[in-house]
Amino acid sequence: MENQENYAVKTGDWVGTLLVTMIPIIGLIMLFVWAFDSSSNPSKANWAKAQLIWSAIFIGIFVLISVVFGATVFTILYDNFQ
């Protein structure tokens, strides 16, 4: 009998997985569940961890750009109203 944890994830399972991750808050929660649940398929767990890493990188870049842009706008507005 094949070990249930190491089965190949089928195409239909990936379609369902991607569909779930498109739902804003639920998708993020499910990424954490798939990444850190011991009963998750190892390939799906590794994929979820990679998705979380990329999400953290993009959020960090977004925050950095927002802070720089916000500071620039604040400086321009502050100088114009002096």
Yes or no: say if 44 and 9 are a contact pair by the CB < 8 Å rule: yes
Q: Which domain holds residue 43?
A: 4-80
Per residue in 40-73, pLDDT (tens digit) is 999 999 999 999 999 999 999 999 999 999 999 9
How many domains does the structure of the chain reveal?
Answer: 1
How far is it, in rounded angstroms, from Cα 25 to Cα 39?
22
Q: In whole angstroms, give the CA distance from residue 32 to residue 50.
A: 11
d(Cα 46, Cα 79) in Å, to the nearest integer?
A: 50
Question: What is the predicted pLDDT for the residue at 4?
Answer: 57
Instruction: Using the predicted structure, report yes or no on whether residue 82 has a pLDDT greater than 60.
Output: yes
